[in-house]
C-alpha cells in the first residue's frame, strides 16, 4: 500500500488538469481512497491537533470565502483543491520517515522524464514546428503558442515555460542533495544516475528562459548559504557551492541577454516587468474594494477586467500569489498563510537536518520566492509538489525518540475521524466533477461538429451533476443559438441570464447576450446588456465599438 501511494503521489506533475480534467479527477479519487485507507486503517502514527490545524486551516478559510464570492462554483472548486493538498500533507506527516525518503527519491528520478521532454522540444520539437508550419496555422487559436516558439521556450507537459520552471526549481535542489547523499554512501550507480538527472533538469530550466524562476532559485540558495554555510569551515564544500552559484548566475545573465527586450525595453508592450506592474496595480485595486473578505477563491480572473490597465494583457492571475490570495480570500487567509509558513520554518529549525531536508527546504523557499512574481501556487501540477516537500521536510527531520508537535497520540482520534469524513466528501465531489467534465467535453466536441441536439443533451447531463456552473449554462445558450439560428429564441436568453446570475461580474456573458439581441433587431435590450459589459470591462475596445453601434442606431431613429 505504501509503495503504491508513493508512486501515486509522485506522478501528479505529469497530469495537466487544464488539458485532462477527467484524468485529474480520477487521479484525485484514487489518491483520496488510498488516503482514507491510510488514515483509517494502516496508519502507524497518529496526527496531532496542531498538524490538523496547520494543514487544513487555509483550505477552511478558502471554503468560507464562498460566502462573499462573486462566483461560488469557482470558490468551491478551489476549496476542493486545497483540501486535497491538506490531506496530502497530513498523509505524509503521518507516515514513517522511510515513506518520505522514498517519495523524495522517486520524485527526483521521475523529474528526469519531464526534463528530457523539455530537451526534446528545444532540439527537435520547436525547430520542426517552425520549419513545417506557417505562422497562420500556429496563430489561428491565438498568438501565445507563436510567442513561445519564436522565443524557443520549452514547456514539457506544462502549460507555460514559467510553470515548468516553477516545478524544476523545486526538484533541482532535491536532485543535487540526492547526488551528494549517493556520493557520501559511495553508491556509484546511483550517483551517476543523479548526475545525469541533474544535468538534464539544469538544461531544461535554462531552456525555459524563465528569469523569475532563476532569480527565485538564486535567492533561495543565497538564503540557505547564509544560514547553513556561513560558519562552515569546510573549504571544499564552500568552493563546490560557490561554483554552483556562479554557474547559476552565468546562466541567469545569458537568459537576460536573450530576453532583454522583454525586461529593459519599456517601449515593448509585452515588457514582462511592466505587465507585472499592471497586474499588481489591478490586484491592489481589487484588495482596496474588498480587503477583508476578498472576491472569493478562484475569481481574480473574473474581476480583473474591471480593474485592468489599458496597456495590460488579459490574465486570470495577478502574478503574485500573495496578492492574489488576499484579493480572493481576504486578509485573514493571507495572515494565516504567512503564520503557517512562520510555524513551518520554526519547526524546521528544531529538526535533525540531513541532506534530503536541505534539498526540500531550498525547494520550498524557491517556490515561495518565485510566487512573488508568478502564480504556481494556484497551479495544481506544481503546487502539489510544494505541499509534498513541505510535509516531507517536516517528517524527515523528526527524531523518532522525541515527541513531535505534529505527531502526538493525545489528539489523534478526533482529527482522524474528521479527516475520514472530509475525504468521503472530497471523493463525492470529485466524482461529480468527473461526470460534469466528461459531459462538457462531449458537448464541446458536438458543438464543433455542429451537432447541436447531442450537445444540448450532454450539457443538460452535466448540469444534473453540477447545477451551479455558469459555464454550462453559457454553453447551453451557444448550443441553442446554433440549433435555433433562423429565429430569435427566448431559451437562449434565459440560459445567458442564468449564467450571468451565477457569474455576474463576467463581462463576456453580457457582451454575447447584447450581441444576440442586436442580431435580431432588439436594440433596447442590446444596449442594456452592452452597457453592463462595458462596466465590467471598460478597456475592451470590442465592447465599446458594439455599444457605439447600438447608440448610433438609436440616434438615427431619433
Contact in structure between 35 and 91 (CB atoms under 8 Å)? yes
Contact in structure between 401 and 346 (CB atoms under 8 Å)? no
Q: 479-489: per-residue pLDDT in tens? A: 999 988 878 99
Q: 97-131: per-residue pLDDT in tens? A: 899 999 999 999 999 999 999 999 999 999 999 88
Picking from 165, 113, 112, 153, the residue whose alpha carbon sits closest to that of residue 129 is 153
**Grid-cell match 568552493, residue found:** 239
- From the number of C-beta atoms within 10 Å of its C-beta (0-12, 13-18, 19+), residue 281 rates as middle
| DSSP track, 74-138 | HHHHHHHHHHHHHHHHHHHHHS-HHHHHHHHHHHHHHHHHHHHHHHHIIIIIHHHHHHHS-HHHH
d(CA 18, CA 181): 36
Phi/psi for 159 (5° steps) reads -80, -25
Count CA atoms closer than 13 A to 216's CA, side-chain side: 30
Distance set, CA 233 to CA 197, 221, 222, 358, 362 (Å): 29, 18, 17, 18, 21
Residue 532 contacts by C-beta under 8 Å, 6 or more apart in sequence?
507, 510, 514
The SS3 assignment for 308 reads coil
d(CA 272, CA 312): 10
Q: Tell me the pTM.
A: 0.92
Q: What is the mean pLDDT of each run of 10 residues along the chain (558 residues)?
A: 90 93 96 88 66 91 95 97 96 89 96 97 93 82 79 93 96 92 89 95 92 88 71 56 64 61 62 90 96 96 96 94 98 96 86 81 95 96 97 77 47 70 96 97 95 96 96 97 88 97 97 95 94 96 94 72
Q: 224-250: per-residue pLDDT in tens? A: 777 666 555 555 555 556 666 666 676
* pLDDT at position 233: 56
**Grid-cell match 520554526, residue found:** 346
* pLDDT at position 409: 47
Contact in structure between 221 and 245 (CB atoms under 8 Å)? yes
Strands (DSSP E) contained in 448-541 are none
Instruction: Give me the residues paired with residue 465 across strands.
Output: none
* pLDDT at position 149: 87
Instruction: Give me the residues paired with residue 407 across strands.
Output: 47, 404
444-476 burial string, b = 16+ CB within 10 Å, else e? Answer: bebbeeebbeebbbbbebbbebbeebbbbbbbb
Question: Cβ of 20: how many Cβ atoms within 10 Å?
Answer: 15
Which contacts of 341-346 are long-range, i.e. CB under 8 A and separated by 24 or more positions?
341/368, 343/54, 344/54, 344/390, 344/394
Picking from 509, 68, 86, the residue whose alpha carbon sits closest to that of residue 298 is 68
Instruction: Kindly state which CATH superfamily the domain 435-557 is placed in.
Output: Tetratricopeptide repeat domain (1.25.40.10)
d(CA 248, CA 371): 19
CATH 1.25.40.10-classified regions of the chain = 435-557
Amino acid at each position: 500500500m505504501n509503495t503504491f501511494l508513493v508512486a501515486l503521489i509522485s506522478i501528479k506533475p505529469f497530469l495537466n488538469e487544464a488539458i485532462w480534467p477527467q484524468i485529474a479527477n480520477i487521479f484525485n479519487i484514487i489518491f483520496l481512497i488510498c488516503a482514507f485507507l491510510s488514515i483509517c486503517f494502516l496508519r502507524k502514527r497518529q496526527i496531532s491537533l496542531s498538524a490538523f490545524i496547520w494543514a487544513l486551516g487555509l483550505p477552511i478559510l478558502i471554503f468560507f470565502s464562498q460566502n462573499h464570492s462573486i462566483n461560488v462554483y469557482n470558490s468551491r472548486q478551489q476549496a476542493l483543491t486545497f483540501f486535497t493538498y491538506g490531506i496530502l500533507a497530513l498523509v505524509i506527516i503521518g507516515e514513517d520517515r522511510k515513506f518520505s525518503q522514498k517519495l523524495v527519491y522517486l520524485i527526483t528520478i521521475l523529474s528526469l522524464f519531464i526534463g528530457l521532454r523539455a530537451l526534446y522540444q528545444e532540439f527537435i520539437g520547436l525547430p520542426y514546428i517552425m520549419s513545417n508550419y506557417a505562422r497562420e496555422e500556429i496563430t489561428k487559436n491565438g498568438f501565445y503558442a507563436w510567442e513561445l516558439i519564436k522565443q524557443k521556450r520549452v514547456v514539457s507537459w506544462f502549460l507555460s515555460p514559467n510553470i515548468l520552471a516553477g516545478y524544476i526549481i523545486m526538484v533541482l535542489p532535491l536532485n543535487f542533495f540526492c547526488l551528494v547523499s549517493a556520493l557520501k554512501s559511495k553508491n556509484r550507480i546511483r550517483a551517476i544516475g543523479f548526475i545525469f538527472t541533474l544535468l538534464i533538469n539544469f538544461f531544461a530550466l535554462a531552456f525555459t528562459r524563465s528569469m523569475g524562476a532563476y532569480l527565485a532559485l538564486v535567492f533561495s540558495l543565497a538564503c540557505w548559504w547564509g544560514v547553513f554555510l556561513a560558519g562552515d569551515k569546510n573549504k571544499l564544500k564552500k568552493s563546490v557551492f560557490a561554483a554552483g552559484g556562479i554557474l547559476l548566475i552565468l546562466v541567469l545573465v545569458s537568459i537576460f541577454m536573450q530576453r532583454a527586450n522583454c525586461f529593459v525595453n519599456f517601449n515593448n508592450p509585452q515588457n514582462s516587468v511592466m505587465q507585472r506592474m499592471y497586474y499588481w496595480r489591478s490586484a491592489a485595486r481589487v484588495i482596496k474594494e474588498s480587503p477583508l473578505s476578498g472576491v472569493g477563491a478562484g475569481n481574480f480572473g473574473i474581476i480583473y477586467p474591471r480593474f485592468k490597465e489599458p496597456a495590460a494583457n488579459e490574465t486570470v492571475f495577478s502574478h503574485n500569489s500573495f496578492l492574489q490570495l488576499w484579493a480572493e480570500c481576504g486578509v485573514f487567509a493571507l495572515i494565516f498563510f504567512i503564520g503557517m509558513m512562520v510555524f513551518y520554518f520554526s519547526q524546521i529549525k528544531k529538526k535533525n537536518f540531513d541532506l534530503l531536508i536541505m534539498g526540500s527546504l531550498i525547494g520550498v523557499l524557491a517556490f515561495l520566492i518565485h510566487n512573488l512574481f508568478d502564480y504556481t501556487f494556484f497551479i495544481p501540477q506544481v503546487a502539489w509538489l510544494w505541499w509534498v516537500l513541505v510535509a516531507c521536510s517536516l517528517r524527515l527531520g523528526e527524531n523518532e525518540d522525541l515527541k513531535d508537535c505534529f505527531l502526538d497520540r493525545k489528539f489523534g482520534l478526533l482529527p482522524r475521524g474528521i479527516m475520514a469524513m472530509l475525504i468521503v466528501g472530497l471523493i463525492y465531489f470529485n466524482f461529480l466533477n468527473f461526470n460534469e467534465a466528461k459531459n462538457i467535453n462531449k458537448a464541446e466536441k458536438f458543438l464543433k461538429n455542429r451537432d447541436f441536439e447531442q450537445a444540448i443533451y450532454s450539457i443538460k447531463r452535466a448540469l444534473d451533476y453540477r447545477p451551479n456552473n455558469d459555464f454550462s449554462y453559457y454553453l447551453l445558450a451557444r448550443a441553442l443559438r446554433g440549433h435555433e439560428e433562423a429565429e430569435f429564441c427566448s431559451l437562449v436568453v434565459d440560459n445567458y441570464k442564468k449564467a450571468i446570475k451565477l457569474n455576474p461580474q463576467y463581462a463576456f456573458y453580457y457582451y454575447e447576450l447584447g450581441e444576440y439581441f442586436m442580431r435580431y433587431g432588439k436594440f433596447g435590450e442590446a444596449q442594456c446588456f452592452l452597457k453592463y459589459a462595458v462596466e465590467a470591462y471598460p478597456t475592451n475596445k470590442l465592447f465599446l465599438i458594439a455599444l457605439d453601434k447600438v447608440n448610433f442606431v438609436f440616434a438615427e431613429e431619433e
